[in-house]
Structure 1
Amino acid sequence: MRTVILATLGSAAMLLGAYAFQHLGGMAPCKLCLWQRWPHAAAILIGVIILLTKQCRLAWLGAVAALTTSAIGFYHAGVEQGWWEGPTSCTSTGIANLSSEELLNQILAAPLVRCDDIAWQLAGISMAGWNAIISLGLVALWVQAARRA
Structure 2
Amino acid sequence: MPLVGALLIAACAPTVRPFGDAPPPAAAQPPFSIGETRRADVADAVRDALHAAGYREAQDAPTRVEIGFAIRPPGVTVAGAGGATIVSPPAPRAIGLCRRQAYVLILAMIDRASGTVLRRSGAITARCVGKEATLLPALARAAVSPRR
Higher helix proportion, which one?
Answer: 1
Structure having the higher strand fraction is: 2
Greater gyration radius: 1
Greater relative CO (CA pairs within 8 A, separation 6+): 1
Length-normalised TM-score, structure 1: 0.25
